[in-house]
Chain A
Amino acid sequence: MQKPKQHGYFRRFMADYGIVLALVLLCVYFSAVTYTEQQPTGAAGGAQLAAEIARQTPAGARMLIAVRGSRDDAAFADALGAGLEASGRTVVETVKGEPVDARRALERVTQAGGRLDVIACSQAAGKWSVFDNLATRFPALASVQVRVPRGYRGSNFLKADNLLNVANQIAVIAIVAIGMTLVIITGGIDLSVGSLIALSAVVSTLLIQKYAGAEQAGSGGMLLASLGGVALCGVVGLFSGAMVTLFRIPAFIVTLAMMLVASGLAFMIAQGQSIYQVPDSFIWLGRGADLGMPRAVWLMLGLYVLAHFLMMRTQPGRYVYAVGSNPEAARLSGIPTGRTLLWVYALSGALAGLGGIVMASQLKSGSPTYGQMYELYVIAAVVVGGTSLAGGEGRVFGTLIGAFIIAVIQNGMNLTGVESYTQKVILGLVILGAVMLDMLKRRGWRLGGQAK
């Protein structure tokens, strides 16, 4: 019945990363539902509105330009003003700020006995109610027109800004999920990662506050403090690994205990408060961007490439799979199972610590409340990405896709205005649906039977 296909590479890709299909479907869906009116912004939008107004008003017409205080709006206003002046219209005043500034400008114009023909606005400023009912409040301005740029149709979700936003939002979970993928491939689990995020954020910000000079800390001090946070979490992970290997305590129990310990330590160290005495430059990692992409996303992608190489091309990586598929066979064939488990748990801890640094940098502070419930999102990303909880099977890039599925759902629901309660229900169902789709695909779209 099944015809052999020639697209071998494509089929192998789909077999490995079939979950991509679910991600693509989600993206298509959210692109469609967020397809809405878009406003031309920046210099291009300003130039377009200037040309439009120039066509419809006589030369010498008097203009007021009003935009909000953002950089994008300022570029819009500058291009608009330049375009209007060039075509012989008079720009009486330009407001870059808040509605109250616009009102003062209107008062100045009318008090000076001036006349206005058009108020040219960015889309957001055009909705300011300060421009409603002008005739009653400023009889001299009764005939003035409020003009905004003509909109076009586009998808909010598909905007480059938003796609980077999605990647940036998932960076912490995706980074932590690398370590979790390895742990789950060995057949274990690490529940402590959420608390380690908090511990690392608190410890590194505290080190900066106490020893690196607080708000005046230099980049070297901040780097050392961050490394301190990551190293501490690595040690905690190593400890969990040791408990699992030496005492044969189930990983679930060990890491559950460490989850409580790490969270409690974070609260003790921070005394329940958030630590915010860090320099402005501390946001370099969390909010900065290179080549148009947020640094946290660069870091995430770099780590994924490294982890992929580690798992696919190196001996320690292959050992991880071997330990997960059959620990006894692995041990008998001379694989150092204990050592493998130790470094995998240590890596998971250290990556959770790194996630904590990224989060502290994004929020410019460290707080013991960070990372609560993150272990569940991280595990969800790993499992949605096709890693088997039974161990021995899984791919790091699958996890990245799993993380993106979660991020896209959350972002898409925020963009379409789904209420918080409903969001939880839908997120849970979509995670279930995505895994179901993947399982069905692996079994050749048949129900029941044995899982592969």
Chain B
Amino acid sequence: MKRRALLAGLLVTASFLTGCGGGPPADAPAAPSGGSTSTAPAAGSKGTIGLSVLTLTNPFFKVIADSMTEEARKHGYDVAVVSGEFDVAKQQNQVKDFIVRKVSAIVLTPCDSKAIGPAIQEANEAGIPVFTADIACLAPGAKVVTHVATDNYGGGKEAATAMIEALGNEGGKIAILDFPVVESCILRVKGFKEVIAKHNTDHPSGKIEIVSQLNAGGAKDQGNKVTEDVLQAHGDLAGIFAINDPSALGARAALEKAGKADQVKIIGFDGQPEGKQAIRDGKIYADPIQFPDKIGVQTVEAILKHFAGEETPKEVLIPTALYRKADGEKDTTL
């Protein structure tokens, strides 16, 4: 009897384990197990691209992963998608496993621009080309073939253009809600300020004056609080540039509370669904929007170019585009 029970226990475990194993092919057709690879280089799959993103809880990275998978499949590559979930040690293990799997190329959105260095170096030593998307690797000695990201500096300039357009000839006082620990946000503010400065020299009568620049942490709650404080100091504020949608929406809530929603024009950044809706409803004037799908596609293109033996640029910047109320009204995805 004992032996029979033991057998039953083993069967339970075995079915349990095979149950797990049955999952992967359905969820990820990318699984390279089985005889899909062949000695003849022309036949079948060209190989697997290993992708480890910062997090899959943010739709931005999910879109990058999905568009990359789709584009790679068109060209005969499989993509294995994993997520570091902000844990760079976990991401390093994922890179090590990619190396064991002998993937053709590795794409990372690093969880830490510096600490990812050793993992990239290991891939370099194994001869596997590494690409980064959205977040750059800043570790010395780690070799990245191509970095694909949004042109945040250009996006900041577009935001300034939108601000000038929103304020018209009168100009006025504006505030910037920034997030200075993140490189991309620093660039957005830099581009924004340059265009505003140029506007002011060209149009001395309708000057736009930056009266306040505060850290809103890129988050709704802080954006809300910081905007309340700014309104205390500058009751005649005419505009706010927020470096992303959450802080822009936080600012909007503060303006509504203070009854100044019509007086102050907001320019956001990103083009997340919630931000786009706010633009359609007239709550935010405009956003320079990012294109995570293009980041995915361009990364695959960089990989294809690399394997075709073409020269690849160190950096590919994807321009943003201004998204206004009229775009929101035509947008069928909202």
Partner-B contacts on A (CB < 8 A): 1-2, 22, 25-26, 29, 33-37, 39, 67-73, 98-104, 106, 121, 123-124, 126-132, 146, 148-151, 156, 159, 161-162, 165, 168-169, 172, 272-274, 276, 283, 286-287, 359, 362-365, 367, 369-373, 410-411, 413-423, 426, 429-430, 433, 437, 440-441, 444-446
Given the complex, which residues of A lie within 8 Å of B30, measured CB to CB?
417
Q: A363 contacts B97, CB within 8 Å?
A: no
Residue on B nearest A162 in the bound complex, by CB: B100
Q: B33 contacts A36, CB within 8 Å?
A: yes
- Give chain B interface residues in 75-129, CB to chain A under 8 Å: 78, 80-83, 85-89, 92-94, 96-98, 100-102, 104, 111-112, 114-115, 117-119, 124-129
| A445-B8 contact, Cβ under 8 Å, with A362-B92, A417-B80 | yes
B17, B37, B98, B181: which contacts A26 (Cβ < 8 A)?
B17
Pairs of residues from A and B, 5 with the lowest C-beta to C-beta distance, nearest first: A103-B309, A68-B127, A70-B127, A445-B5, A130-B309
A98 vs B89: C-alpha distance when bound (angstroms): 28
What are 7 of the A-B contact pairs (CB < 8 Å)? Answer: A26-B17, A103-B309, A359-B89, A362-B89, A369-B86, A422-B24, A445-B6
Partner-A contacts on B (CB < 8 A): 1-2, 5-6, 8-10, 12-14, 16-18, 20-21, 23-24, 27-28, 30-35, 37-42, 46-48, 56, 78, 80-83, 85-89, 92-94, 96-98, 100-102, 104, 111-112, 114-115, 117-119, 124-129, 139, 181, 304, 306-312
B32, B38, B118: which contacts A417 (Cβ < 8 A)?
B32
Given the complex, which residues of A lie within 8 Å of B98, measured CB to CB?
414
A67 vs B124: C-alpha distance when bound (angstroms): 14
Q: B17 contacts A165, CB within 8 Å?
A: no
A186 vs B13: C-alpha distance when bound (angstroms): 31
Q: B307 contacts A274, CB within 8 Å?
A: no
Given the complex, which residues of A lie within 8 Å of B12, measured CB to CB?
437
Given the complex, which residues of A lie within 8 Å of B101, measured CB to CB?
156, 414-415, 417
A39 vs B37: C-alpha distance when bound (angstroms): 10
| A276-B306 contact, Cβ under 8 Å, with A1-B1, A417-B24 | no
Residue on B nearest A360 in the bound complex, by CB: B115
A283 vs B115: C-alpha distance when bound (angstroms): 12
Q: A99 contacts B81, CB within 8 Å?
A: no
Q: B48 contacts A417, CB within 8 Å?
A: yes
Q: A33 contacts B39, CB within 8 Å?
A: no
Residue on B nearest A68 in the bound complex, by CB: B127
A315 CB to nearest B CB, Å: 37
Q: B115 contacts A416, CB within 8 Å?
A: no
B20, B28, B86, B119: which contacts A426 (Cβ < 8 A)?
B20
Q: B39 contacts A148, CB within 8 Å?
A: yes
Q: B89 contacts A129, CB within 8 Å?
A: no
Given the complex, which residues of B lie within 8 Å of A71, measured CB to CB?
125
Q: B32 contacts A418, CB within 8 Å?
A: no
Residue on B nearest A128 in the bound complex, by CB: B307
Given the complex, which residues of B lie within 8 Å of A444, measured CB to CB?
2, 5
Given the complex, which residues of A lie within 8 Å of B42, measured CB to CB?
132
A286 CB to nearest B CB, Å: 8
B20, B89, B100, B117: which contacts A159 (Cβ < 8 A)?
B100
A98 vs B82: C-alpha distance when bound (angstroms): 26
Given the complex, which residues of B lie within 8 Å of A130, measured CB to CB?
307-309
| A429-B97 contact, Cβ under 8 Å, with A98-B129, A363-B89 | no
A273 vs B20: C-alpha distance when bound (angstroms): 38
A283 vs B119: C-alpha distance when bound (angstroms): 12
Given the complex, which residues of B lie within 8 Å of A123, measured CB to CB?
39, 102
Q: A272 contacts B181, CB within 8 Å?
A: yes
Residue on A nearest B7 in the bound complex, by CB: A445
Q: B33 contacts A126, CB within 8 Å?
A: no
Q: B82 contacts A172, CB within 8 Å?
A: no
Given the complex, which residues of B lie within 8 Å of A1, measured CB to CB?
1-2
Given the complex, which residues of B lie within 8 Å of A37, measured CB to CB?
35, 37-39
A361 CB to nearest B CB, Å: 9
Residue on A nearest B111 in the bound complex, by CB: A369
Given the complex, which residues of A lie within 8 Å of B48, measured CB to CB?
417
Q: A2 contacts B115, CB within 8 Å?
A: no
B23, B127, B310: which contacts A69 (Cβ < 8 A)?
B127
A11 CB to nearest B CB, Å: 12
B47, B119, B309: which contacts A99 (Cβ < 8 A)?
B309
Given the complex, which residues of B lie within 8 Å of A124, measured CB to CB?
47, 102, 104, 127-128
Q: B46 contacts A34, CB within 8 Å?
A: no
Given the complex, which residues of B lie within 8 Å of A132, measured CB to CB?
42, 308
Q: A418 contacts B27, CB within 8 Å?
A: yes
Given the complex, which residues of A lie within 8 Å of B126, measured CB to CB?
70, 72
A165 vs B96: C-alpha distance when bound (angstroms): 7
| A414-B94 contact, Cβ under 8 Å, with A71-B125, A98-B129 | yes
Q: B24 contacts A370, CB within 8 Å?
A: no
| A365-B104 contact, Cβ under 8 Å, with A73-B127, A169-B96 | no
Given the complex, which residues of A lie within 8 Å of B306, measured CB to CB?
98-100
A410 vs B21: C-alpha distance when bound (angstroms): 13
Extra 19 A-B pairs, beta carbons < 8 Å, given A372-B86, A433-B13? A25-B17, A36-B35, A37-B38, A70-B127, A127-B46, A128-B41, A129-B307, A149-B39, A151-B39, A156-B101, A159-B100, A276-B139, A286-B118, A363-B119, A417-B28, A417-B48, A420-B56, A423-B82, A446-B5
B307 CB to nearest A CB, Å: 5
| A33-B33 contact, Cβ under 8 Å, with A129-B307, A364-B115 | yes
